[in-house]
Amino acid sequence: MLIVSGEIRSAGTSNACFHAPFLRPLCAALLLCVAAVADPLPEMLRFMDCTLPLEQYIVTHAQRRDGDGAPWQAVIPDTQCFRTWVVPEYKVVLWRKDALNADYYGEIFTYDDTLVRLHMETFPPRTPVDGPDSLVWDPRPDRFRLFVEAGEREDWRLGRVFAPLEASTAWRHSGCINTYICNTWNGYHDRTAPRWQERFLDNAVFLERQASFSTFFDGPCPDGYAPDTAFTAFDEAIVINQCMQQDAGRERFFFARKGEDCYGIVRWDNAVKRDGTWVVLERTIGLRLGVQEPEFSFAGMLDRVRKAR
């Protein structure tokens, strides 16, 4: 681990960083330590860890269609951001998405010696447990959706099983989860947050590997949102499949590599099964690399990780 000008950098595992001025008094002491070479990440984490330069992110565009063969339509006339970062110091994976100016917006995964789990997800306020006065998007960083394994004794530190640490296509998982809407940190720590979904079924979670991967393999983009050539010719992608509620729906998460560079997540899509065939109705696809100054920050997400402990 390196700390430079109040920033933590994971040596050998990621180029991402976050601003942490409260750590500056520790810098001198830590930099005197002889740091061991970081152990290489397991393959699934390597694909989830974006190794692009610090200020870069994946420019994405969200689209929707009515059915198979229908034209893709833009969800909003704009682009969004994706970037993932593995943080071994906390044993988490952070996924920034949607908003460049909200460094807490996205999803937080935890991992142990065998599994990656989805723990928290930022989301808008209009849900079945919200009151009628919640009419606009509430961007508070202390509001998030919590995933908990369903069981007799719930552990709010264990999220939804997402992937194996070792990227095996033979791996399969099924199980049930409960989700909660946390509106304050007290609701999380006191276990008083209201339940949103009860015993939500993951009937099949598994991964696939694809070579020569393109982010828009299922039809052309709307005008003005065609991807760069680089995003049509990745060397390999690992695809996480979540088939839910007796195959009523499926979400997929695509993590791509080109040469020695890992791009992290480059595409997400959502499908329903019609006449025995999966039909993708929503997708967020990587278009190109974007650059933001100052360096792309995960400060808000790491603050959420610390407060969840």
Grouping H, G, I as helix, E, B as strand and the rest as coil, residue 232 is: helix
Residue 14 to residues 46, 58, 85, 221: CA-CA distances in angstroms?
9, 16, 7, 31
Grouping H, G, I as helix, E, B as strand and the rest as coil, residue 252 is: strand
pTM, whole model, 2 decimals? 0.86
pLDDT in the model for residue 294: 85
Grouping H, G, I as helix, E, B as strand and the rest as coil, residue 147 is: strand
122 neighbors 131 (Cβ within 8 angstroms):
no
167 neighbors 44 (Cβ within 8 angstroms):
yes
Residue 24 to residues 4, 31, 255: CA-CA distances in angstroms?
9, 11, 34
Buried b (16+ CB within 10 A) or exposed e, 7-18: bbbbeebbbbbb
Of 172, 170, 210, which Cα lies nearest the Cα of 47? 210
Q: Tens of pLDDT along the chain (309 residues)?
A: 322 223 444 433 444 444 444 443 333 333 334 334 467 899 999 999 999 999 999 999 999 999 999 999 999 889 999 999 999 999 999 999 988 888 999 999 999 999 999 999 997 656 665 666 655 566 678 889 999 999 888 999 989 999 999 999 999 999 999 999 998 899 999 999 999 899 999 999 999 999 999 999 998 888 889 899 999 999 999 999 999 999 999 999 999 999 999 999 999 999 999 999 999 999 999 999 999 988 889 999 999 999 998
Radius of gyration for the chain, computed over Cα atoms and rounded to the nearest angstrom:
19
Q: In total, how many domains does the chain have? A: 1
Of 304, 252, 240, which Cα lies nearest the Cα of 279? 252
d(CA 211, CA 262): 14
Of 246, 280, 231, which Cα lies nearest the Cα of 82? 231
Amino acid at 270: N
Name residues whose C-beta falls within 8 Å of residue 96's C-beta, 6 or more positions apart in sequence. Answer: 57, 81, 82, 83, 84, 85, 103, 105, 106, 296, 298, 301
pLDDT in the model for residue 12: 39
d(CA 225, CA 222): 6
What domain range includes position 281?
A: 2-307
